[in-house]
Structure 1
């Protein structure tokens, strides 16, 4: 490390060390905007708040309108090839109106509120990292923060936008919350949501029961086969979480539907699992029934090999700041799987430490805001120097 580099690293660390109160203020602002995935106006309001903050910092923001889900917002430092991307999503799982019931609050060193850790804390961290680097001259490569709008429902619109945004990128850092252990995420399961629809033949259940063919019975048989695909030893799970069907209790059901969640660790498992599900869908459980299987959303897995090099760089930066961090596997999915599947080195869970996501007890550890921002900024400077 040369003298100029050391001076710049010190300046970045020092500036971020003074931003705790400003980080908390921005966090409160973002958390107190309802932004459920299907609330386009709310998700866009978060993007607009981010855009206003960036403009005040002299950071360029691009907005790409989307017709159904929230718009795409991108904050950029520099242009050209070899971009490094800071990734994050603005949507939460909490329905519109949640903020009125329980808005942002702090106590005992923790922040609470809908989406405070997953992942508005990560958005705040990414923004302050951008600002810290912009203040000290930028980087030799373009740096782009991407703020998506529909991750919590499987990125049905965002997946293609992310693929376009990270095209030719050299690295991606996804600011999902750091684990409660303080670790980063170096491996994630992939997952998919599917709908299985079965058609049968209606009949009066008292007068002409034998003339009917029950779609519900056929679906029930398929559900048993689907659940039998779960293998805890390999990490593959299947779950039928919602079932619907029929028209009345005295009618043989002419239709039935199931919503399925699947999880897998590797791409090979995904291919084998999907083939098995297609086989189950095609099987005629009862004469006269038919079924169709449709994928409605999904994430690819983040395999550890795609994170190892970035983890080593981050660990050096953390050690420089006086703390240790390891990589960790989680069964949850994220957009990190999308970027890793494109062959781009990807590190996830770089956001501030939080826990109990998707519950009313979700919290973010306020003391982790500054050091996690500093560690990420130093990692980016390390990439710049390397």
Structure 2
């Protein structure tokens, strides 16, 4: 790395503000809900088009249900040297038609639109950083780009890809949005998303009441017991966020179900809490009811190791040289960064452009952070020490 490399790359990135916004506009205006494979792949195609325009080869890892994983690499062909992995997801939580109802717009210093900060802006930033290294060189090792497709539903197809690529990398930068404070994310909770069903017996609630066994009654007891497992001092939270059940108002409910969100900090608490939930399922309060539990999706926590702390410290210094004051925050939210952190690869999350109010119609991205955050990431890569 030389001062000339830093100057060339940071200056080029400073000249790309409008080009970044143009690409961001294109992809925000394409619907890409997690279950909309066609839309997610259309966003991927636009990103592939940009990378091709920069002379960067891409390849897809196809999936029959969810969007394909998109890969790109900048560096000497055939090298076995471990790369730095730049990661991001292009799916959103929004339904088909949302982009047409409220397309990409700019109001003052903020950009709006579905997925604008979570996390299409982060992918745009990653691609321009990769393009800068393709154009000027200077990277101390290869740079790998991974664009996934289903993070908003706990990455059912992408998790094995992310874990594989994470194991092969020397470090991972996940470009989820920077915090509204301007900080990055040094740690995250893990999350387990579950569904449970309760089975009872139907009976006429007026004429044959005593023959019925209420699944809803049992579900109510289980919800109270599950919520009681919350331990805020340990960072453990339980939320039954969805419930349904019953057949009719005048029938004892033969069936009911609920969905559980578990968040935790310490991986050991995952096992203990799941065992407690399984015990609640196995021991009914309403005699005659039975229950079953299934895990629908899961994220792993981001725990800051010494190696990850070193990456954060280097990024923090690079950000300062880009005019940013950055600290590390802990987030109760989950992300794909947990998968790479959990395979032992130093991981830093939330390095994307600053934004907020994700998953809402007020979601925004601070335009003035796009270039400085790209420069900070590029400087951090340039200063990576390669053994």
The alignment's TM-score, normalised by the length of structure 2, stands at: 0.96
Hey, what's the Cα distance between the residues in 1 that align with 2:229 and 2:73?
A: 44
Structure 2 CA distance for aligned equivalents of residues 366 and 338 of structure 1: 29
Counterpart Cα distance in 1 of 2:241 and 2:226:
12
Deviation by residue 1:70-123 (Cα, 9 ceiling, x = unmatched): 111111123424121111000011111011111001121111111100001101
**2:66 equivalent among 64, 69, 80:** 69
Where structure 1 has 5 or more consecutive residues not aligned to the other structure, the ranges are none
Residues in 2 aligned to 1:327 and 1:249: alpha-carbon distance in whole angstroms = 52
Partner residue of 2:253? 253
Matching residue of 1:269:
269
CA shift digits 1:9-56 (9 cap, x unpaired): 111111111101100101101111111111111111000000111011
| Correspondence list, 1:296-311, <5 A | 296-305=296-305, 307-311=308-312
Structure 2 stretches lacking a partner, 5+ long: none
- The answer to whether the Cα contact below 8 Å between 1:77 and 1:138 also exists between their aligned partners in 2 is no
Q: CA RMSD in A?
A: 1.3
* Structure 1 residue aligned with 2:91: 91
1:251 CA drift (Å):
1.4
Deviation at 1:316, TM superposition (A): 1.6
Retained in 1: the 8 A contact 2:91–2:152? yes
Deviation at 1:232, TM superposition (A): 1.8
- The alpha-carbon deviation at position 140 of structure 1 amounts to 4.1
Query: Displacement of 1:385 after TM fit?
Result: 5.8
What is the CA–CA distance in structure 2 between the aligned matches of 1:207 and 1:154, rounded to whole Å? 46
SS in 1 for 2:232: coil
When normalised by structure 1's length, the TM-score is: 0.96
| CA displacement, residues 191-236 of structure 1 (integer Å, 9 cap, x when unaligned) | 1110011111122212222112111111111111001011222221
Shift of 1:284: 2.3
- Among 25, 29, 32, the residue aligned to 2:29: 32
Query: Bigger CA drift: 75-84 or 359-368?
Result: 75-84
Secondary structure at the aligned position of 2:167 is classed as coil
Asked if residue 158 in structure 1 is aligned to residue 158 in structure 2, the reply is yes
Aligned length in residues: 383
Asked if 1:361 is matched to 2:376, the reply is no
CA distance in 2, matches of 1:328, 1:371: 19
Indicate if the aligned counterparts of 1:264 and 1:270 stay in contact, CA closer than 8 A. Answer: yes
Distance 2:286 2:72 in 1: 55
